[in-house]
């Protein structure tokens, strides 16, 4: 039986690239799709067949999250790797002297903080039955308190810092079950997080995804530093 990976936000960008890399590594991949109009996953399905299961997934909808987890349970009975990738960037606030859009900030927290928490909780029993037992999350250098440099992007940065705190607590609790939790800074990736493709970023999604998968498949021990970049460099909390 092939090992299994579950990727959220797999429609495009980094999530799609992560899906490709895991498929190339001979994993069976459950790909969470939010945007039905993006067809790249269907093209991968044509190439990889039964090794790719495309699952409709809205990480902000508990019923959707539970349905996806139940599908993985019924199909595979276990899960080796979860990658919480689904996230949004919606931050129009320029600085403390400008106007804050609190509704936008709440949406950031709903997706970037509570979304991963919902998904992780839904599949913990499956990860406990897996072999790899890896719970990876796409965080950001924007989460770092020690290296904070921004003078804007309050909502996005705070949401990623909250995610990191979530992950440290989760690691404390899951240590006894041998589940390793990781928080990745993916680099400045050419992707769609701003709503449109960002050609000014410094690395391609496939480069970041390849690095992230490489670090995951090194299977770091529970006591190793869990906040790293896609090349394995330690990030400061």
Q: Is residue 50 part of a domain?
A: yes
Confidence of residue 98 (pLDDT cuts 50, 70, 90): confident
Q: Is residue 123 part of a domain?
A: yes
Q: Is residue 148 part of a domain?
A: yes
User: Is pLDDT above 70 for 194?
Assistant: no
Q: How high is the pLDDT of residue 227?
A: 98
User: Is pLDDT above 90 for 217?
Assistant: yes
* Domain CATH for 137: 3.40.50.720
Domain that holds residue 132: 4-229
Q: Is residue 234 part of a domain?
A: no
Q: 39-66 pLDDT, tens per residue? A: 899 999 999 999 999 999 999 999 999 9
Q: How high is the pLDDT of residue 200?
A: 73
Q: Is residue 236 part of a domain?
A: no
Per-residue pLDDT averaged across 132-161, rounded?
A: 95
Per-residue pLDDT averaged across 204-209, rounded?
A: 95
Q: 151-164 pLDDT, tens per residue? A: 888 999 999 999 99
Q: Is residue 91 part of a domain?
A: yes
Q: Is residue 235 part of a domain?
A: no
Please report, for residues 3, 17, 234, the alpha-carbon distance to residue 24 in angstroms, rounded to integers and kept in the order given.
12, 11, 27
- The two tokens of residue 51 are 């090794």
Q: How high is the pLDDT of residue 83?
A: 98
Per-residue pLDDT averaged across 1-15, rounded?
A: 95
| pTM value > 0.85 | yes
Q: Is residue 237 part of a domain?
A: no
Confidence of residue 93 (pLDDT cuts 50, 70, 90): low
User: Is pLDDT above 70 for 13?
Assistant: yes
Do 6 and 28 touch, CB atoms closer than 8 A?
A: no
Question: Is the model more confident about 96 or about 216?
Answer: 216
Confidence of residue 195 (pLDDT cuts 50, 70, 90): low
Q: Domain total for the chain?
A: 1
Task: Pick the closest to residue 75 from 126, 145, 119 (CA basis).
Answer: 126
Per-residue pLDDT averaged across 169-178, rounded?
A: 97
d(C-alpha 237, C-alpha 25), whole Å: 31
């Amino acid at each position: 039986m092939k090992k299994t990976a579950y990727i959220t936000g797999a429609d495009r960008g980094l999530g799609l690239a992560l899906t490709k890399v895991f498929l190339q590594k001979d994993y069976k991949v459950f790909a969470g799709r939010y945007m039905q109009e993006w067809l790249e996953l269907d093209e991968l399905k044509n190439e990889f067949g039964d090794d790719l299961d495309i699952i409709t997934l809205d990480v902000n909808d508990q019923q959707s999250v539970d349905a996806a987890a139940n599908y993985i349970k019924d199909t595979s009975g276990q899960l080796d790797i979860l990658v919480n990738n689904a996230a949004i960037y919606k931050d129009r606030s320029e600085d403390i002297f400008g106007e804050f859009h609190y509704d936008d900030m709440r949406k950031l927290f709903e997706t970037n903080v509570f979304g991963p928490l919902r998904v992780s909780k839904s599949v913990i029993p499956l990860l406990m039955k897996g072999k790899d037992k890896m719970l990876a999350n796409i965080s950001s250098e924007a989460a770092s308190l020690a290296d904070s440099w921004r003078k804007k992007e309050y909502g996005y940065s705070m949401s990623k810092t909250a995610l990191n705190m979530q992950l440290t607590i989760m690691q404390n609790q899951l240590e006894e079950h041998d589940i390793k939790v990781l928080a990745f800074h993916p680099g400045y990736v050419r992707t769609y997080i701003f709503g449109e493709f960002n050609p000014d970023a410094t690395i391609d999604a496939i480069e970041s995804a390849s690095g992230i998968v490489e670090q995951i498949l090194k299977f770091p021990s529970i006591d190793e530093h869990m906040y790293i970049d896609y090349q394995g460099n330690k990030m400061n909390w």
